[in-house]
Amino acid sequence: MQLTDKLHKSVETIWEGYLSQPFVKELGEGTLDADKFRFYMIQDYRYLLQYAKVFAMGIVKSEDERIMAKFSTMVEDVLNGEMNVHKTYMGRLGITEKEVETTKSSLANQSYTSYMLDVAYKGDALDILIAVLACAWSYQEIGEHHKEIPGALEHPFYGEWITGYSCEEYCATTKEIMDLVNELGEGISLEKEKKLEEIFVNCSRYEKGFWDMAYKMEM
């Protein structure tokens, strides 16, 4: 069993719960209030700016040029890939760069990103990958689940979000992270494995909190 398989098993219940959370469920059904989605987009954009920094720490913590290049590509994928979906929506929602810059990150957002950055500063390249994987992988699972809902991909507003997180390009990016996790995780000690599982579970719990925060529009 590969490391990613073990990690996934440790959060199965948490991730299954995402699908019944109001924000995620209503997004898939196309009934989510636009104001809630607008709030989420600003908070998630601010999240992604910190998320990219966590990936960037992987370059700092690596000595292998090949792995440094992989982390560099991951930073690029966030800043000029995933964030483009957000920029499109922000334009449609009338969200300006000024509004994003002046809006404070919610407490749940700050707590989550601070945790990931703390893991990155204190840990190694593998710790960093585990800290970002919960977000990347769980979003893919949500996207793949939602695209099977009749009419979800064709929804005039939320279809683009679902497509963005279930498309071949996004799945390939997530697989690249998972492959590197399995490569670096091969032969690690049981103690290290338990530490990584704790990080993965914590980040998965933070994901739950983020969805709740977005639905409640809670600062």
Structure token pair of residue 207:
């994901």
Of 67, 206, 188, give the one whose Cα is nearest residue 129: 67
Active-site residue 141, yes or no?
Answer: no
Helix pair angle (34-61, 83-93), 10° resolution: 150
Indicate which residue of 16, 97, 144, 207 is catalytic: 207
**Using the 8-state DSSP alphabet, how is residue 80 labeled?**
I
Name the active-site residue from 135, 144, 167, 197.
135
Closest CA to 35 of 93, 115, 117, 96: 93
Of 56, 39, 33, 24, the residue nearest 104 (C-alpha) = 39
Is 218 one of the catalytic residues? no
- In the chain, alpha helices (H): 3-10, 12-18, 22-29, 34-61, 65-77, 83-93, 97-102, 107-122, 125-146, 159-164, 168-184, 190-216
CA–CA gap between residue 157 and residue 163 (Å, rounded): 11
Catalytic positions are 135, 207
